[in-house]
Structure 1
Amino acid sequence: MKAILTGHTRGLGAAIAGELLGRHIPVLGLARRRNADLAQRFPVGLEQVELDLADTGSLEDWLAGDTLATFLAGSPSVVLINNAGVVQPVGPLGAQDILSIARAVALNVAAPLMLSRAVTAASPAAHDWRILHVSSGAARNAYPGWSVYCATKAALDHHARAVALDKVPGLRICSLAPGVIDTDMQTEIRSTPMENFPLRERFEAMKRDGALTSPEDCARRLVDYLLDARFGEMPVADLRDFAS
């Protein structure tokens, strides 16, 4: 098995990469910068590509090359984890920056969909493909100030539902909400002005009450589920519904 993981440099992505590598699963990490800590901890098994996934043209050019196919060559089982994403722009419609909207849609939606297609095409030797979109409760519940984030995460959920209906032999897909995790994104949310995100106090309370999951614990449970025979039975799921 080999894994492609986006956003592997910090937070949940870094923890997922460490969990996979710790289980001797080679990882190709795609992000704007390299993860020096992971490279030091895992001198074998980790390949890194510096790529701005919000730049659709750059991603298209990279996919036209042979790096992905070379990494996946000969592997009978392939995993793609679409983890990279942004919560910005946050705020009511009139306050949203136009370029931030475009960047969010490119990173949160276009990149996962492009990579999902590319991975299946680049690995003809595989008979087991597993695609995991890191979704959110915001995909299934609307929140004030998060119209772009909610919409982009909901797009991943519906993509997984539709791909599952295609019934491609050997392909399993799930858009998985991982729960609320103690990452830089949560810090960003708690620093958002109340007028842009009226529910900020809810997230402040979760941090204060110790209700946030650590990236490492979430990554362990996420990888357990990803590798489980049940993966893909439901195209949309919540990690909190499965035993730890």
Structure 2
Amino acid sequence: MCTLEARGWVATHVHSYEESVYILDGEAELSTGEGVFKLRAGDYGLIQVALPHSWRASPSGDARWAQMMAPQPRSRFGGDTYFVDDPPQELKGQVIDVRDPRTRSFGHIEPSNMDVSRQTQDQLAVSASMRTALLVYSGITVKMMLDGELGAQHSTMFMVQYDPNGVAGQHDHPFEETYLILDGEVDATFDGERYRMAAGDIGFAGVGCVHGFSNPADGAVRWLETQAPQPPARYSYRFARDWDYLRKQTGVTT
């Protein structure tokens, strides 16, 4: 989680890792080689490895965002951050325009984008395609935000929504996941430990951590999720239920 106070700024710098950012509150200008972008709540973007960039908060208030760094910064190298010269010219900040084909590393998402009934072309800000597609199953809706198609190499970032009674069974992955709860509450289990997570809570599942979620409330729960490294093309999920079934079928005990 990052907070930049009103009128605060971070000089031009580069990292040896990529960053995925999602604006939670306030407004900030992010300057990159592609231009100066005025980011507001709901905007997200990718800062690629070694891309010079700087931050400046609005004078009207603090800016706060969630940030994913992959691979992890190395403390023995001072966090892998290196300050460099400013760009040769300062451009005027531009609001993220998701319809502009030149907007290559940024996007915007609203809670309404998770509503299956509002996915017709006349209700979408951008042309309908796989970039606007929702993955819907067992009361769960997933909307990809940052992945390889937008240039990410080490991580993914996406929005997840569980409807009432939505459930994801116990499973694990060959990668790490983080969860930032934005709205509602969810019952979560991590390696047998149960938690009730609410807005503002953050969860983490490391490689091999068996975890699952269920929505016990009458309303939807929504969270921001990241994965690193990026999932493999196959076998990214290992559901305990499936392997328990095999154990029963074969009669093998351990």
Fold shared, TM-score > 0.5 on shorter chain: no
TM-score under structure 1 length normalisation: 0.28
Larger radius of gyration: 2
TM-score under structure 2 length normalisation: 0.28
Which structure's residues are more often helix, by fraction? 1
Q: Relative contact order (C-alpha < 8 Å, sep 6+): which is higher? A: 1
Which structure's residues are more often strand, by fraction? 2
